[in-house]
Amino acid sequence: MSLLTFDQIVEAIGELPPQERLKLRQWLNRNAADETPNQGGASNGGAQNTSDIDVIPPIVMRRVPPIAPEKDAKKEMNWLREHRAEYANQWVALDGDRLISAGRSAKEVHTAAKASGVPHALIVLVEPPDALPFAGF
């Protein structure tokens, strides 16, 4: 019987489907708790470091709430349609249909929006009405 190298084992684990990896993780956690800390460590003349055989924590799936509250942007989109020519090539901060700040840089507009008490304002660069659509290239 040929012995596998560590790299071959790691490569084989990488090819396992997620369910099989979960089974392996659970098996390793069960067996790591049963092993003694000095198993095989003193044979090479040095003490085995117990931190090398820490139990692998289980993967816990959880839903993380969004950083900013989700809201409908219809009012902001209507405002942009109505004032597009007036604020062309400027950054604007909007809260609903209310203009909070306008300026030449996103940073100054964001700072003004935070200072006015609206940290999650919509901040957008207003394109001129005659601008061609951006195609990504």
pLDDT value at residue 53: 56
Give the 3-state secondary structure of residue 98.
Answer: strand
Give the 3-state secondary structure of residue 94.
Answer: strand
Q: How many CB atoms lie within 10 A of CB 93?
A: 24
CA-CA distances (angstroms) from residue 92 to 17, 64, 86, 125? 47, 29, 11, 6
The rounded radius of gyration (Å) of the Cα atoms in the chain is 29
pLDDT value at residue 36: 52
Question: How many Å apart are CA 94 and CA 112, to the nearest integer?
Answer: 11
Sign of the torsion angle spanned by Cα atoms 10, 11, 12, 15:
positive
Question: How many Å apart are CA 29 and CA 114, to the nearest integer?
Answer: 47
* pLDDT by residue, tens only, the chain of 137 residues: 578 888 888 899 989 998 998 888 888 888 876 665 554 444 444 444 555 556 677 778 888 877 766 778 899 999 999 999 999 999 999 999 999 999 999 999 999 999 999 988 999 999 998 888 888 76
pLDDT value at residue 66: 74
pLDDT value at residue 41: 45
Alpha carbon of residue 110 to chain centroid: 22
